[in-house]
Amino acid sequence: MAGVLMEQKVLLDAQWYDYVPIFIYFTFVIGVGFVMKAKAKSSDQFLTGGRSLPAWVTGIAFVSANLGAVEIMGMSANGAQYGMPTFHYFWVGAVPAMIFLGLVMMPFYYGSKVRSVPEFMFKRYGKIAHLINSLSFALAQLLIAGINLFLLGKIINWLLGWPLMLALIVAAVIVFTYISIGGLAAAIYNEVLQFFVIVAALLPLTLIGLHRTGGWSGLKEQITANAVAAGTDPALQLNSWPGQLLSGFSSPVMSVVGIVFGLGFVLSFGYWTTNFVEVQRAMASDSISAAQKTPIIGTFVKMFVPFLVIIPGMIAGVLVTEVAQAKNAGESFEYNNAILLLMRDVLPDGLLGLAITGLLASFMAGMAANISAFNTVFTVDLYERYLKPGQSDEKYLRVGKLSTAAAAIIAIFTALIASQYDNLMDYLQQLFSMFNAPLFATFIVGMFWRKASPTAGWLGLVSGTLGALTINILMWAGVLSLPGQGGAFLAASVAFVTDVVVTVIVSQVTQPKPAAELRGFVYSLTPKAERTDPHLHELPVWRRPVPLGIAAALLVVTLNVVFH
């Protein structure tokens, strides 16, 4: 799978000075760890960043933590292969869920002062649901950290010619160094720095690429010409709606329904609203309103990421000889390399070095986000909760650092597992559909329905996950056949519905938690003062969560209209 690039030594023709920005960036990355050392003295500061960061910082980190290898390589690959329907992963597939997270769910997460999403699960539903949540989350983080690390290792391998194993170890050591010294705050700071470096790397790539194709209209003409020559419908690539190439449904109506409910509701709400990697960034902010604004400010960033990722993919589809040939002939091709090949073809030395820096930054920060979420869940939800409760803070701080080391080492091994799958996107979506859609169902029922009982909580989770697993097994066995993302949508929908139905039924016959214990965790039992920011009225209107959320919603609708 990596053969194509290795034989041609694509990125090895970089000049010596292309390494300068890489050196500058990593000096700062390590430096941030040391700068933040003073802010990571207790286990709480280490794991929550001391709840002291402004909303724009956590908002950028919220997006950046998700802007790893899969987003950049995988989404540009989708852009090269399918074109504009890929926008939905960023718009329908993220923005509504992020606004919902900020306005509806964040007041509970932040206001209840839990340190992790699984901890919220513990307080709301008790032990069994908590164990399922924390164990599955911890496992998923190790897997995804491995995927990010593997892609990082592959890039270093191509660029510097280092053996993969050495690249994996060096990358893991760097991440371990700054997280173990500076904690979550260092991870968040580096995510913000990473974001700026990625934009600095991808914006010139996009603009120069568009210049080479004769602008946006030139790009569309060339895609049309190639598609017609290959006997396919260019409209499928040049319109984001109805997006049959993405949903896999041939009927336009079914495709729209599939994207809005499958991607826009069950998949994305499951992913964005309960994924602790994301929510953790908001929990590090300095007030309830800042926590609410974190994902909402994030949407403004998120909406424009596809222009820097998908459009270069589309450009590669016409400008890069290898990609264009494979696409026109319908041959199988490692589309994940599309953006690298475009960098080789259009970036001069200097910018090429910056582009490589951006990729390394992205893959490393993705992995770091997984590891910083893992160490919190391990320390707070597994070690402190079950293994050794009631220890000194120093002890937990040490466990936080040790679990960071353990995660970095395990990620090296999971990197080798990740190398076995060639379509990372499909693989991840299947994973998320099994864990996330039921989690969202359980959380949202639990936040708004006081009678949802502890037993119902874990039974709902288990049956929802089994529902998704059943669909996936039927698909793997070939009993069910849905092309594209149709299977992932179906699995997530089945998981969501099963979870809600089971939770409601079981709650009828089991005992709910006493009302006193649910204060802060259920809407009707939480006084308004505990879920709103007392200083909210001091902020100007445009810095309040609700107006910002409305602006984000209007903007994403506008983008969908313009790029329909």
Give the list of residues 6+ apart from residue 138 with CB closer than 8 angstroms, or none.
374, 377, 378, 382
- Size of interface with other proteins, in residues (CB under 8 A): 51
Interface residue with other proteins among 127, 211, 388, 519 (CB under 8 A) is 211
Alpha-carbon 452 to chain mean position: 29
Give the list of residues 6+ apart from residue 251 with CB closer than 8 angstroms, or none.
none
Taking alpha carbons only, the member of 281, 277, 283 closest to residue 432 is 277
Pick the stretch among 247-255, 281-289, 386-394, 429-437 that binds other proteins (CB under 8 A). Answer: 281-289
Draw the binding track, 299-328, toward other proteins (x: CB under 8 A; -: no contact): ------------------------------
Dihedrals φ, ψ of 535, to 5°?
A: -95, 10
Alpha-carbon gap, residue 382 to 304, rounded angstroms: 38
Structure tokens at 555: 């903007």
In the bound complex, what is the minimum distance in angstroms from residue 244's beta carbon to other proteins? 34
Give the list of residues 6+ apart from residue 52 with CB closer than 8 angstroms, or none.
39, 185, 284, 286
In the bound complex, what is the minimum distance in angstroms from residue 218's beta carbon to other proteins? 11
Nearer Cβ to other proteins, position 227 or 340?
Answer: 340
Pick the stretch among 66-74, 89-97, 141-149, 532-540 that binds other proteins (CB under 8 A). Answer: 532-540
Structure tokens at 376: 């919190």
Nearer Cβ to other proteins, position 275 or 294?
Answer: 294
Alpha-carbon gap, residue 403 to 134, rounded angstroms: 14
Tell whether residue 56 is a contact of other proteins (CB under 8 A): yes
Interface residue with other proteins among 172, 192, 219, 556 (CB under 8 A) is 192
Draw the binding track, 78-117, toward other proteins (x: CB under 8 A; -: no contact): ----------------------------------------
Tell whether residue 283 is a contact of other proteins (CB under 8 A): no
Taking alpha carbons only, the member of 465, 401, 454 closest to residue 430 is 465
Tell whether residue 13 is a contact of other proteins (CB under 8 A): no
Tell whether residue 215 is a contact of other proteins (CB under 8 A): no
Query: Between residue 443 and residue 482, which ones bind other proteins under the rule CB under 8 A?
Result: none
In the bound complex, what is the minimum distance in angstroms from residue 36's beta carbon to other proteins? 7
In the bound complex, what is the minimum distance in angstroms from residue 197's beta carbon to other proteins? 7
For 341, counting Cβ atoms within 10 Å of its Cβ (0-12 exposed, 13-18 middle, 19+ buried), the class is buried
Nearer Cβ to other proteins, position 361 or 425?
Answer: 361
Cα-based distances in Å from 203 to 149, 278, 307: 24, 25, 9
Scanning the structure block, which residue is given the tokens 């994924």? 275
Residues forming the site for other proteins (CB under 8 A): 15, 17, 20-21, 24-25, 28, 31-32, 35-36, 38-39, 50-52, 54-57, 189, 192-193, 196-197, 200, 203-204, 208, 211-212, 285-290, 345-351, 354, 357, 533-535, 538-539
